[in-house]
Structure 1
Amino acid sequence: MSTSASPAKRTSQSLDPGSDDEGVQTAKRVKREHPERADTIEEDSDYLDSDDEMDDDDVEANLEELRRQREIERKRRNPEELATAGVVKEISLINFMCHENLTVTLAEKMNFVVGHNGSGKSAILSGLAVALGAKATITGRGAGLKSMIMTGKDRAKVTVTMRNVGEDAFMHDLFGDQVVIERNFDQSGSSNFKFRATKDGKILSDKRDTLTKMCNHWHINIDSPLCMLTQDNAKTFLAKTDPKIMYSFFLKGSGLADIMDQYKLTKFSQEKLSRDLANATDALPDQQDKVRKLQNLIQYAEKARNLRKKQEDLKAQLAWAFVNDKEGEIDTVRGYIEELNDKSEMLEGKLSDIDTADKKVKDDIKMLRDGIARFFDDHRQTQQEMSAKRKKLGDARGALAAVKTSVTECKGEIQAREEEITAMEDKLAAARREEEGEANPEQVRLQKQLEAAEAQKSGLVRMLPQNERAVATAKAAVDETQNALKEAEREYNEAERSVNEVSRSLENLQARRTDRLAPYGRNLRSVMQAIESTQWKHSKPIGPIGLHVKLMDPVYRHCFSNMLGSSLCSFVVRDPADQNTLQRIFEQCGRQHNFSASPVRQGGPPNFPSVTLYKGDRYDFSNGDLYRQGVGETVLSKLEVDDEDVLRVLITAHQIERTLVAPSDNDALAVMDRVLGAHNQSIVVFSASEFRHNGHVKNHLRQSGPQTKWRGPDMFVTDVAAEIERLRPVLDEREADLRTKRAELQVRRQEATKARENLKKAQADVDRNNKGIPHIKRTIEAINDKLQEFRPIDGNATEISLEEVRGEKTKLQEELSALEGNLEVKETDFKDAQTECEAAQTLLNSFQEQLSTKKDVLVNLQAQERQYEKERVHYKGSLGRAKVQLQQEQSTIDDAEKTLKTWIQAALGFMERPDEFGDAKELEAQRKAVDKQIEEAKRRTNIDLDQVVHQHLVESERLDRTTRSIDQFREIERLLKIGFDDRTNRWQMLRRNISLRIHLRFIENVRQRGFEGRLKFDHEVGEELRLEVATSSDAATQREMVYKRPESLSGGERSFVTVSLLLSMWDSAPANLRCLDEWDVFLDSANRRIAAGLLMEGSRDATSRQFVLISPLDMNGVNTVGRGNKVIRLADPIRNQRRLEEFQ
């Protein structure tokens, strides 16, 4: 048990030899802490001799005095006073030993727990012991806690509620009026404590140290037999007890052992202090000799004092000279700050003017765009009418051409008929001259077939040129409509590409707000996560390298995006194996996460970024850096690269240190004129207008052309929100243009489809003619062959044929007349359609001219807007740099003023501010000269005056401290020795008094039974306690009393003696809790009644103490009436009981 809060420690503290009125202080403290033995200590009687030397008269006198003191104490004490702190209020057992659920409430003073064997009486004390931290072996009921768990259960819980009211309360602010101690343990052997203010309340502590502090506070030593005597120990307590163990039991139970342990620690500290004092005294002459030597060295350095004074004066002047120079520097910086402020105001005015002009241009652009949109709407009808009139003109042209062809063919047919009539008239005249018989009918039929075939042939031949001309006209129309369709498709595709480009830019800008990887590709984060989780042979890849590149001048953002876009999306590795690993990551992420680098392709395979293998050679590129050479601004000068490896990769891939840049094409040409020469044979200059200019001195060749357009997002956007606002109206304009192009494309497709259908129809007519003419020719040849078999035709048939031909001629002439009339109509229609088309074309041309004029104005306004934006970026950059410089200079002034303030404080430590200041350089030279003289003096004397003076001061102070410490500790040593001797004497006196009190109480207790007893204390030699008893049977024989040792007593006698001894020692023990198991197991009813009376009397005398006594018998015949007393009867051995029949 710790002695930090024990009564022994408090008693030892009361014996301080340095306290005033030692005897009074000791008596007061002992009286306050152990009132039951206070009177004994206060008494200065002569009977306090060794208890071994007392005769019968002394014993009787002492007993009488003891009774008198007890009576006085009883009168002075409130008989109704009960313990309010440090006693048990309630014990609860769950699954503990034979109890499944048992709760016992204890009284404040005397508690008798009775019941038949097996009812679980001892289990209550075992539970109390376990809850207060005892090991299972102390209870005598098992080898471990798990052996005390009820059979068939996995865990057990013991809860003890302690009263905590009054001055002796333990941590009352935390726990309140009671402390609930809960101990849980299970079959695995694990155990824990929980401390609460109520049973179901919040856990206030779970540390074993809390239990230790509580037991120390209330003097509860649960392992001591004086606190708890178990059933097994009660039966054998005196039977097998060794005298030395009994004496140790006496010392520990009375608290004397703890007091002596404190005294021994004090003695050890005093002996250690004596050794340390001896060592310090032995070292004192060496320190004195060292101080004397240092004093001698100081005398040798006196001659350097004048130089030292001069040195201090120079330091003071030099300090103020530095202050003066620093003030001049601050004034210079303030002037520069004023210039920067003026420049900032000028730049802000410029920006204000630009914002005003830019706002006007934006308003003009918006108005013009709205006007163009309205202009398109107003002239959309004109475009549609123009298309209709073009179609009408084409139809009229085709109809006129067809009529002209028909007239020509009809005239040819008439001429052919006239020639045929002439030939037939000649044949008829010849036939009449012949006198032949009638014609052959077959010949007549063949002749008719031949004439019909000739007529069909003539018709086919006549229609062939007309159909061929129709095919040629249709082909020309197809070519014209097809070209118009291609142009419309090209314009539509271009408009659609433009819309998609702006839309993708907007989407990418939106993504940049939350994803800084968005400019470099789609779903790039999956690649970065795979890179982080992969083991690399050399090192983790760097990339995308655009993360390490920042554009300093936004004017060049489009130019640099075209130049570096693909490289900014690339990665850099240091080992070929890592290059292959990274390519596999790209492929895997492309398949699983749809990863693609910028520019993202619409459909098709993903676009993987390039991987550059870099060996890590950080070469010096400064010799080739044209910006550092003063040639001009380069791509590198406009970039900020925060990774040296990325910088070397860009230099190798794009020669950014040698590629010049200019804000405009004119500036780029001027740079070429200025730079090209002997030192620069060839040069490349990029302008902010996205043009590339290169030249060479040797062949005087200069070339200029636009940059290859970067199809990905803008890589150098600084203000994402502003760029989004700029692109939204652009997207609206381009979408409106796309809708117009889509309508025009639809009209062109319809025209092309109709032209192809007309061509197909005309081509079918030509095919029919080409196939019919050979066929009819073969038919005519076959008829002619058959007619050769017959004689020449007769006159009648010829006349008939002649009439038919003449009739056909007449019909042809009538058809010609109709065609010629129709030709005039068609020519009139064609001229009208042509006139209308020309008028519409004139109007359309006027519309195109007006539209072109408006677009030119829009382009100029947009150019002005871009120019204003470039100027704004330029002036903003200049203003930002001016503000940064202003902040830097202001910070410089702040730091300088802080430094100046520090310097002034340091200078004031030397002297007040002078009216005139010397030159710092001259003063520094003088100071160095003086320092050199001082160093020479040091060299001659071989000492450092400052060091010696400081060391002398330190050693002198150390010697003084050592001397004072030795004197102080010698006094402490003397007081400790006196105090130890005094405390030891007082302890011995207290031991004698306590042992005498225990002896007398023991005698008085055993006499209640008619016994005589004595306790032999050997305090000096063996430190033993021997107990001897003379029983009443011996006294009855009227012989001399025969004292016997405890082991010679019967069971009942030994039980009574045990109770008597415990009551005697309890009278001097500080513990609040006293438990005794099976105290009357061997007593008959008479002896039991006497022993119970002793216990009840002891409980009345022991205020603020609680007794828990276990008995297998009832309490009949024992007076247990009184406040704070209680009899607790356990039911017969039936398990799972939940209630107790309690009697008081």
Structure 2
Amino acid sequence: MAAKRRAVSPDSEGESSSKRARTTEDSDEQPTRSQRRRGRDKPEDDRVELEDDEAEEMEQTEPNEDDEIRFEEEHEEEIRAKVIGGNKVQGNIAEMGIIEKLELHQFMCHKYLEFTFGPQINFIIGGKSAVLSALTVALGGKANVTGRGSGLKSFIREGQGAAEVTVTLKNQGEDAYKYKEYGDSIVVTRRFTKEGSSSYKIKSKSGKVISTKRDELSAICDHMNIQVDNPMNILTQGQLLFRLQFLSASQPADKYRFFLRGTQLSQLSEEYSTCMENISQTQKILTSKSEMIPDLQQALKDAVRRLEEAEKAVEQQRKVNELKSELAWTHVAVKEKDLRTKLEAVAKCERNMKKIQEELDKAEKALHSAEEAVTQREAELGSLGDIQDLHVKRREKNDAVRANVKRISEVKGEERTMNDSMKALNLQIESLKQKITEEEIRMAEFTQGKRDEIRRKLDDANTELKEAEDRLNEIKAELPRRETESKDARAKLGQLKEKGDEVKRKIMNIKHQLQLVNEGEKNQLAPFGNKMEAVLTEISRTQWYGRQPVGPFGRYVKVRDPDAWAPIMRVQLGHAMSAFAVTDARDRRTLEQILKQHNNKPNIFISEVDIFDYSRGEPPEQYLTVLRALEVSDEYVLRLLINSSSIERILIAKTRADADSMLMQLGNGGVAWTADSYLVTRFPEGGGRSSLLQRIDRNSTDPRLQLFTSGNLQGERRRWEQELEQAEREYREMGDEAKSLKIAADTADKTFQSLKVSFTQATQRFREIKHKRDALQDEANVETPVGISTLQDALKEAEDEKELTKKQFAQAEQKIAEINELQHPLMEELAVLKKEIDDFEGRRNQTTKLIEAAVGQRLQAQGSKTHYEKKLVEEQVKLDNAKNYADIVQDELVDWTKAAEMINSTRVETRRTVEEVERNLKSVKAALEEQEKRQGASVETIVEEVNKRKSALENARKELKMMVSLNKSLRKSIKVRLARWHEFRRHIALRCKIYFSYHLSNRGYFGKVLFDHVNGSLQLKVQTDDLAGTQGGGNREKDPRSLSGGEKSFSTICLLLSLWESIGCPIRCLDEFDVFMDAVNRRISMRMMIDTANASDRKQYILITPQDMTNITIGKTVRVHRMTDPERGQGVLAFT
């Protein structure tokens, strides 16, 4: 059935009417049993008739002209009073939806332009029409709406590649949009480029980017009722000129359509029209459905007739029913046996579950014990402390030993001097003995001439003795100074040599690290072991029982901030970075052999792949843990590090104090590593401790120094090369200095030794001269020749001095022995210190091995726990499946029992099997089917068909009745909404008339807006003040086309202000509103707009004028922006 409809059109606004079917339901009598069996009575025709009452229900929806006149008479005075009274009341400031700030970057001819708008009235003096274009673009409007360009690219400043517009929307009050996310303001930034791309950034007041989607901007505009594309909200310069021309040149129907679009009434009308079309289409579908009911009724009649004919085979069917009953209860017995089997399987799974749970409990206890062991071993490692004091003591003892060695060297130098003296004394003794022999010969030859000669020799001897004594005293005075110079030079040379050896070792270590870096550039696996690429290649070629081994762990681990945390990570996790992991214990030995072939001995973990949730072990997000400082790309490696090192709960901090403070804040104890190499522990029951970790010497060859670098190997190489260059320069400088010191030391030694020899020689010469002088003196005193006794006395004195030198030598030997005695305990102490240091290193290594063993046990326990948990889950699945199967069988048994009871409520006991009963039933059915062939179907089929036909008829009637009722309700709802729409249109039109007349009166004009809602037209009539005097009492109203330019502009402003009162958008923007106005019209228009804006509640006005406002009184609600001329490209015309 076709439905007639005339929808509300935005062009004509004609009456909306449509037809809708009415459903009349007859009594739903069902055929009685006798009717089905005997067919004596004929079923009533229950066909559903649908009447087309659409025209009746939609009548009078569109009011006529009398209704419009009556409405204006009833409400005009009331609305006029509200309008006049409302203009005297100061409007409130909007809490949301108004523009707080607008920024333009490289937009049109502006490099940068910023506006901070007031909450009510804003005048922009001096142009800047780009403001409205920027506002439209920023809030998602189309470029062609602005009238300043066909696309966004046309708004980009000449010579620039992109432009950006930012608008700040107020977002306060109870209805603020997502206040918790955005705050008091929403900042929308739109950026577009020459290439045509455009993007949004929607930020909170604090500058945080909340969204970059256009849908979020649309949601914000919808929430704040901002209608960017509404032609009434933002009128640019071009749009306003168009409206002026539109006012004078357009037809009444065009003005009416503009009125509907500006007030959003046309959009609502179109949506109602769509709803009416859908309702009418539904009506057609229901009409076609109603025509199917007679066919269903006829089908039911035919099925009932066939059933009556088939009931003649009742006796044969009774036998079939008995066999069916027996077969049904036989199936029940079989299902009961099946249920017992399933229940036994459930009991077996429950027993297995109990055993697995016991094993799981054991594994959990073992895991707890292993975790305690790891914690205990780690605590033992922390309690070991450090051995820095032992190293200091060893250096002190070494210094003492070197001092003793130096003293021994000095004493041995004295011994060498004594040996030289002994040689001189031996020569002297031999000489004296020879002289005694010669004296004995000269005894007989002594004369006076000899005595004179003795006197002369005595004088020469005294002079020579004086010279020898002066020389001896001079040497004796210079000897200590030369000795000190020699010792100091040798000490400086020794110290410099030690420093040089240390720098040389540093150079070798740096070269080693530089070699590792160079290898790392060629092979990123170099820091993790020897020939690691070959190891991984062989691993990939090998067949494994479980998954292919994973490793080394360092391939998957990076430090997010290497400068801050890499040193402590190298100490605590460095060894783990070379580790591998296998999922099957049988693969461990194979992997060990591959690693040993390439001289690698890393740790090997054995653990199944278990990607468990570790979030429960993590502290709150504000605490930085080892895990949060790392970036682990493999989830399996991440879980192994969590199990082995608890990286998800260990905190890291800059200093020990920071770590202790963080652990105290947590309140439940914990462990922290610090960047200054401390292990800080805080116990849950209170108290704690901290121990210094062993740092990795940067000058050592430890390969862990190459771990956790920033990834910039070239920069790392440059750093090592700079250190190498500095160390080599320092070593060269030390070499030059050592050469100078050696020359100085050798010179000092030679001078000292030469001086000692000179001292010995001077001493010997002094003695010889003194003995000679004494002998000559004695000989001169007795005036006798020197006798043998004098020479013998000299010989005795020389021999005594020789004995004294021997004693001194013996004393020197004793002194060396004493020094050696002192040296022996020092060496023993050094041995003890070395043993203590070695013992400490041994204990630490042993503790480390114990920790590794404990970690391995923990991993093994974790693997056992995971294994039994997995087995428990699997067994639980089996148990659940067994229970499900048992429940299914139980449900089937219940269903089959109910089905059997429906066939025969009394249980039929039989010893026959299902197959036997089925064979008997089959033979009986065969006989029955032979009879049914004549009927064309079985009795059950015919009964089933009757029930289906009946159910189909009832369902069709029921559904049709429900849909007809629903369609009626929808049509009534649309009718009510259309009535409200017409009522709303009346109110808006009447308010527009009153406001238009009121605004014209500010200039002394008279005018009115003529609405014809029936024919969809709008006309303006304006009477200016000059017409009153020239036309007398005639018709003083005239068409807008006959108005002057200023009068048209003023009339347009009046109409625009009138329509603005009907719009819910919180902002109104108008560009060059005073175009074509004279000074009087402009002054009155501006005063009128200011008064209207002040009276408007929660509205913001942005008005642009190229002229000044010197003659306008500005209140506190008005903010005036006086702008300078924009920067435009200045060119020069080429004249010829």
TM-score (norm 2): 0.43
Question: Between Structure 1 and Structure 2, whose CA radius of gyration is higher?
Answer: 1
